[in-house]
Chains A and B, each alone.
Chain A
Amino acid sequence: DVKVTQSSRYLVKRTGEKVFLECVQDMDHENMFWYRQDPGLGLRLIYFSYDVKMKEKGDIPEGYSVSREKKERFSLILESASTNQTSMYLCASSSPQGEGLDEQFFGPGTRLTVL
């Protein structure tokens, strides 16, 4: 059974702290993604990675960075957390199947609160 896990379900941090959100997948997927989800705004792509050590900006990368040192692990970093980064963070992975078939498998999410 495919699995994407995220290091924390709930996290509370203070403004200015450096925050690490970890995501691990056990499906040997090439692609990994970080989204944030806010009420009424759906899922917005922050960063994605299509290979180890490769990363691409998504739609809202400002204030975030990522790291992909191993194929199974994709980390999202908030260099200096701010209150407007309070959100649900979702990690996903997928494997190219050709012909545009790119189902993404999601983790359970991390609800981050920045005080």
Chain B
Amino acid sequence: GESVGLHLPTLSVQEGDNSIINCAYSNSASDYFIWYKQESGKGPQFIIDIRSNMDKRQGQRVTVLLNKTVKHLSLQIAATQPGDSAVYFCAENGGTSYGKLTFGQGTILTVHP
């Protein structure tokens, strides 16, 4: 998994498998978290977000889990497809104003057909 401030991990999965990407955050004041996907040569794109008053949120094929006790966030992708291959970033707001986000360094997801 990734942690805001550390190395860039990688995850390789087979097409159709479920993927889990992890993120540890350090700022206990954070009350909003986002997952972004960045494909090669493109800017990050929003996937899903979650507020700190929730511990789970589901989207289309994606689920974000938040564990505030251990300051951990995960992104689950169901039935992973080759088009899901990208770098995935988590971001937290640090409880700040003006919409500032602090990004993790990302996880490279590679999906093999």
A-side interface residues toward B, CB under 8 Å? 4, 31, 33, 35, 39-43, 45, 48, 50, 56, 58, 90, 92, 94-96, 99-109
Contacts and interface: CB of A to CB of B under 8 A. Distances in A.
Contacts, number: 71
B73 interface: no
Interface of B is mostly: loop
Interface of B: 7-8, 31-32, 34, 36, 41-46, 49, 51-52, 89, 91, 93, 95, 98-106
B42 A103 contact: no
Contact of B43 (A42, A94, A107): A107
Of all A-B residue pairs in the complex, the 5 with the closest CB atoms, nearest first, are A106-B43, A102-B99, A42-B105, A100-B32, A43-B103
Contacts of A50: 98-99
A100 B14 CA distance: 36
B105 A41 contact: yes
A92 to B, nearest CB: 8
Contacts of B7: 40
Most buried by A among B36, B41, B93, B100: B100
A9 B41 CA distance: 9
Contacts of A106: 36, 43-45
24 contacts: A31-B99, A35-B103, A39-B8, A42-B103, A43-B89, A45-B100, A48-B98, A50-B98, A50-B99, A56-B98, A58-B100, A90-B43, A96-B98, A100-B51, A100-B52, A100-B95, A101-B32, A102-B32, A102-B93, A103-B46, A104-B91, A109-B41, A109-B42, A109-B43
